[in-house]
Amino acid sequence: MSVLQTPVTVRVPATSANLGPGFDTLGLALDLYDEITVEAVPSGLHIDVTGAGAGEVPLDETHLVVRSMQAAFDLLGEKPAGLRLTCRNVVPHGRGLGSSAAAIVGGLLAARALVEGEDRLDDAALFQLATDLEGHPDNVAPALFGGLTISWVDGAAAAVERLDCQVPVTVFVPPTAVSTAEARGLLPATVPHGDAVFNAGRAALLVAALLHAPERLISATEDRLHQSYRSAAMPESYRLVRSLRVEGVPAVISGAGPTVLAFARGIDDACPEGWALHHLDVDAGGATVR
């Protein structure tokens, strides 16, 4: 077996999906990072978690990083006898900043590096596996590749187009989580044709605005497909988005929420009491291994 005898460390960025109108399609990598270190050991599974999720996530085979590593090992056809996993988490859990995508991408990359399997599991295959595990590609794409990503699924095949993008980002993170399943459960089975047309146009405009026309961002971030339907699960977040937009600030719900993302600086005074505030930039490199 070609198992490394030295530790492998993976750093994975936070991500924001949807960005307003780009529901389940657009994603952005942000310079806030989780870091995992994995080492092959003679036997057993040893997990240590610090930061976000400490004391909450399981410390056994059901841990998402471990499950992701196991999926990669199964595909590669080999695995270490035992593992020591250390997670230093900064990306908040259940807040719409891609914590599950970071765990999946981090686990897959760590497993591939640990058994020296890049020739058997290239980036395209790893992206497909990450999409299968996550259920959709919009967060795993920027987590893996960085930048601004447009992702979709052809049949069962995940695909991505990555673009370079630099735009200032401020995120307002509330103290309580909202599960993705709960947020998705609030969406209707169908939407009016006019709303679908509206979002198609705004999503196309948003790509242009992020690349070279920032003056269009307030219009480009308008949405009619998901944010208002989810407002009951995150009323304070929705109020913050609306109040920022009234002031001309392009603000959206990040992913499934409840974090609020704004393409702006100098809006710290809008942060509700008890919320965390982060000034972020776009991460261009995606997940890295060392």
Q: Is 257 known as a binding-site position? A: no
Q: Is 99 known as a binding-site position? A: yes
Q: Is 92 known as a binding-site position? A: yes
* pLDDT at residue 1, as a whole number: 57
What are 148-158's pLDDT values in tens digits? 999 999 999 99
What are 17-59's pLDDT values in tens digits? 999 999 999 999 999 999 999 999 999 999 999 999 999 999 9
Q: Is 93 known as a binding-site position? A: yes
Average pLDDT over every residue of 278-286: 98
Which helix (H) or strand (E) segment is 285 a member of? none
With 0.85 as the threshold, say if the pTM is over it. Answer: yes
What are 206-252's pLDDT values in tens digits? 999 999 999 999 999 999 999 999 999 999 999 999 999 999 999 99
Bigger pLDDT: 23 vs 116: 23
What's the Cα-to-Cα distance from 218 to each of 26, 214, 249, 251, 262, rounded to whole Å?
Answer: 17, 8, 6, 8, 10
Q: Is 96 known as a binding-site position? A: yes
- Given the DSSP bridges, would you call strands 157-163 and 251-253 parallel, antiparallel or unpaired? unpaired
Task: Tell me the C-alpha distance between 146 and 163, whole Å.
Answer: 9
Residues of the chain with CATH 3.30.230.10: 8-164
Q: Is 101 known as a binding-site position? A: yes
| CATH fold of the domain at 8-164 | Ribosomal Protein S5; domain 2 (3.30.230)
Write down the architecture of domain 169-280 according to CATH.
2-Layer Sandwich (3.30)
* 161, pLDDT greater than 80: yes
What's the Cα-to-Cα distance from 284 to each of 28, 118, 141, rounded to whole Å?
Answer: 9, 21, 12
Q: Largest Cα–Cα distance in the chain?
A: 60
Q: Which two tokens stand for residue 173?
A: 């993170």
